[in-house]
Amino acid sequence: MTSSTTAPKTDYLVVVIAYLSFVVLGIPGAMLGIAWTSEQWPSIQKTFNLGLDAVGALFITTTIGYSLASVFGGRLFGRFNSSSIFLVGALISAAAFLSYAFWPSWWLIVISGVVAGLGSGMLDSGMNIYFAAVFNARLMNWLHASFGIGTVIGIAMIQKVLGAGGRWETGYIIAAGAYLVVAVLFLVTRSHWVNVGRGTHEEGTHAGISARSTLRLPLVWIGLLIFLSYAGLEGVGTQWTFPLFNRGRGIDPITAGLWLGILQGSFTAGRIFFGFILAYFQPRTLIRACSLLLIITTLLLIINPIPNAAFIVLAVYGFMLAPIWALMVTYLQERLGPLHGANAIGFVVAAAGLGIGILPGLAGFLANRSSLEVVPVILFVLAIAMAGLYEISVSRRLQAWLLPTTT
């Protein structure tokens, strides 16, 4: 980085606190997969007497809040100190998740989802902006691995709470407490955080090219669909693995929760592992290999040939999904270049947020009207769609159409 805001040397106190914030960021979403529905344990669905697909409303409202924070993230950094943005995001998140535990109505929780998404989005998009401006790519990679660690902790924590006879509300109280701890850390280390506002790379990346011009490129729309599919593979897998095996296939809640933890753990391990080897392989080779194995694993989830060994399939699924995000971002950046690349990355991240917000809810809607066995079918379709769209994007015959030379 050549930005004037780049720190002369790495402040590892800031790095550690950033990683901790992403660990906390991963807890609530993963926890919801178990807290939402369980045959043997108290659940949100039972508390409010809801249908299986009602969780879709919460996904939509959190996505609205998250998208607002993401869209205005650059402007926030132009007006406020970095540490202040992170502090407010953590406090907003803490307040929202604490309210989940005490609201007497499901729809009040749904409304609070906008606030939760806003706070989480300030931390997520804000920390990505910060790391891109101040730190190197390897530290950025470990930042996202920290999120995966948070998902594993969230699953283990809510499973422990419910297994000990507690209620789902306790999980959200703990999550809120974790956000408060992070907020305190942001407060006491505020002088360590570099301000990445005016004059950073964020403002220069979009100069001379409009969003409309970028959206005229067919490759960008293919990228939007790829990231939408990827988000579905991640979001649907996280939200519906536990219900599929617990309610749908009769696996006891301890084992089903463990299997969900294996999925998230392999996803985290994959991000760490591929972070070391990405430089030694062609991105196209890795994308194709991972996509093929995702198709195979989702097909095996449908067939379920060895029910008691399904956790192995989940482990491979999570591991193969892990590098796709980074590989696809790099691929689009290289294909579109510096003029269109920045706009395009913003668009595909928004598409992924839309996928996380809509596709798990759609899966719940379909499962409620058929059975939970529709979940692996959805994953299979998404895996094929993602692989097919990528092949379209690299097709030599279509390059003149995908990237017109006149733009």
Domains in the chain: how many in total? 2
Contact call for residues 80 and 176 (beta carbons, < 8 A): no
Our CA dihedral for 128, 219, 204, 145, rounded to 10 degrees, sits at 10
| Residue 7: predicted pLDDT | 43
Expressed as residue numbers, the domain containing 276 is: 208-401
- What CATH number does the domain containing 105 carry? 1.20.1250.20
Please give the average per-residue pLDDT across 251-263, as a whole number.
91
What's the mean pLDDT in 159-167? Answer: 90
218 with 180, same domain?
no
Residue 214 has pLDDT above 60, yes or no: yes
Tell whether 22 and 48 lie within a shared domain: yes
Local confidence band at 200 (pLDDT 50, 70, 90 cut-offs): very low
Model confidence at 255, in pLDDT bands (50, 70, 90)? very high
Identity (one letter) of the amino acid at 140? Answer: M
Mark whether 26 and 173 lie in a shared domain: yes
Choose the final residue of a domain: 147, 169, 193.
193
Residue type at 119 in one-letter notation: G
Please say if the pLDDT value at position 342 is more than 50: yes
Whether residues 164 and 212 fall in one domain: no
Residues 84 and 189 placed together within one structural domain of the fold: yes
Is position 4 within any domain? no
Question: Quick one: pLDDT at residue 68?
Answer: 81
226-232 mean pLDDT:
94
Question: Is residue 202 scored above 50 in pLDDT?
Answer: no
Say what angle helices 12-35 and 253-277 make with each other, to 10 degrees: 150
Q: Residue 251: pLDDT above 80?
A: yes
Asked if residue 246 and residue 109 are part of one domain, the reply reads: no
Domain membership of residue 203 (yes or no) is no
Between 10-14, 160-164, 194-198, 397-401, the lowest mean confidence (pLDDT) is in 194-198
* 223 shares a domain with 136: no
Same domain, 177 and 295: no
Q: Tell me the whole-structure pTM to 2 decimals.
A: 0.76
Structure confidence at residue 148 (pLDDT): 84
CB-based contact 339:24 (threshold 8 Å) = no
Asked if residue 353 is part of any domain, the answer here is yes
pLDDT band at residue 73 using 50, 70 and 90 as cut-offs:
low
Is 60 exceeded by the pLDDT of residue 8?
Answer: no
CA dihedral for 95, 96, 102, 108, sign (positive or negative): positive
Q: Check if the beta carbon of residue 45 is closer than 8 Å to that of residue 106.
A: no
Residues 224 and 356 grouped into a single domain: yes
Please provide residue 330's backbone torsions phi and psi, each rounded to the nearest 5 degrees. -60, -40
**Quick check: is 311 in a domain?**
yes
Same domain (yes/no): 292, 319: yes
User: What pLDDT score does 174 carry?
Assistant: 97
Neighbours of 245 (CB within 10 A): 27
Q: Does residue 300 register a pLDDT over 50? A: yes
Q: Which ranges of 5-81 would DSSP assign to H, the alpha helix?
A: 12-35, 44-48, 55-71, 73-79
Q: What is the mean pLDDT of residues 39-45?
A: 83
Q: Rounded to whole angstroms, how far apart are CA atoms 194 and 202?
A: 15
pLDDT of residue 139 exceeding 90, the answer is: no
295 and 161 belong to one structural domain = no
Is residue 199 a part of any domain in this protein? no
Predicted local confidence at residue 204, as pLDDT:
40
Q: Would 2 be classed as within a structural domain?
A: no
Asked if the model's pLDDT at residue 209 lies above 70, the reply is no
- The pLDDT value given to residue 89: 94
Domain boundary among 131, 162, 193: 193
Q: How many residues are there in the chain?
A: 407
Last residue of a domain, one of 193, 226, 250: 193
Round to whole Å and give the CA distance between 290 and 306: 22
Q: What is the pLDDT of residue 225?
A: 95
Q: Alpha carbon of 322 to those of 147, 148, 156, 286, 315: distances in Å?
A: 12, 10, 20, 11, 11
Output the average pLDDT for the chain. 85
Residue 151 lies in a domain: yes
* Residue 365 · residue 56 · CB < 8 Å: yes
pLDDT-based confidence at 145, cuts 50/70/90? confident
